[in-house]
Amino acid sequence: MKVIIVGCGRVGSSIALQLDGEGWNVVAIDEKEEALSRLGSHWNGGFIVGHGMDVDVLRAAGIEEADAVVVATNGDNTNLVIGQVAQKRFDIQCVVVRVLDPARADFYQSLGLRTVSPTKTAIQVLTDAVRACEVPTREPAEART
């Protein structure tokens, strides 16, 4: 299985390393050559320096043979555009896009993109954690005076 990871920051590089370790053929794309250092000296996959919105860069990464594309740059707009290009222009069935804005994530998910919203996840996990706390009932402030 071949996957292209667009954005090789903390998230993208971690996904790339995990999938590489599972035997996937992984190619990472990042605008900064220094991002390659996040993958370590034993990196078996490919690495392309360039912008994921550039169709020539996507082709150089092998998008026409890709089974999946993960888009995890630091910009929602960039991620959504790259995700739509992969899905619509290159007919990639498994496109997963990181979107920080929960409302946008929901909207684009309704259009068929697989979106992951870390913000939405954090809100839910933090809310659940508070609900799980055993907090003693406090007297109202006016009753304590």
Look at residue 49 in the predicted model and tell me its pLDDT.
Answer: 98
Bridge partners for 123 per DSSP: none
Query: Which strands make up the sheet holding 2-6, listed edge to edge?
Result: 46-49, 25-30, 2-6, 68-71, 94-98, 114-116
User: How high is the pLDDT of residue 144?
Assistant: 65
pTM over 0.85: yes
> Where along the chain do its domains lie?
2-117
C-beta of residue 27 within 8 angstroms of C-beta of residue 48: yes
* DSSP output for 7-68: --SHHHHHHHHHHHHTT-EEEEEES-GGGGGGG-TT--SEEEES-TT-HHHHHHTTGGG-SE
What pLDDT was estimated at residue 145? 63
- The CATH code for residues 2-117 is 3.40.50.720
The distance in angstroms from the start CA to the end CA of the chain is 67
Task: Please give the Cα distance from 116 to 111 (Å, whole number).
Answer: 14
Q: Do residues 58 and 72 lie in contact, with contact meaning Cβ atoms separated by under 8 Å?
A: no
- Report the distance separating Cα 122 and Cα 98, nearest Å: 13
pLDDT by residue for the chain (145 residues), tens digit each?
999 999 999 999 999 999 999 999 999 999 999 999 999 998 989 999 999 999 999 999 999 999 999 999 999 999 999 999 999 999 999 999 999 999 999 999 998 899 999 999 999 999 999 999 977 777 777 766 6
Q: Which of 133, 93, 129, 127 minimizes the C-alpha distance to 113?
A: 93
> Which pLDDT value is given to residue 137?
75
Q: Roughly what angle, to the nearest 10 degrees, separates helices 118-132 and 102-110?
A: 120
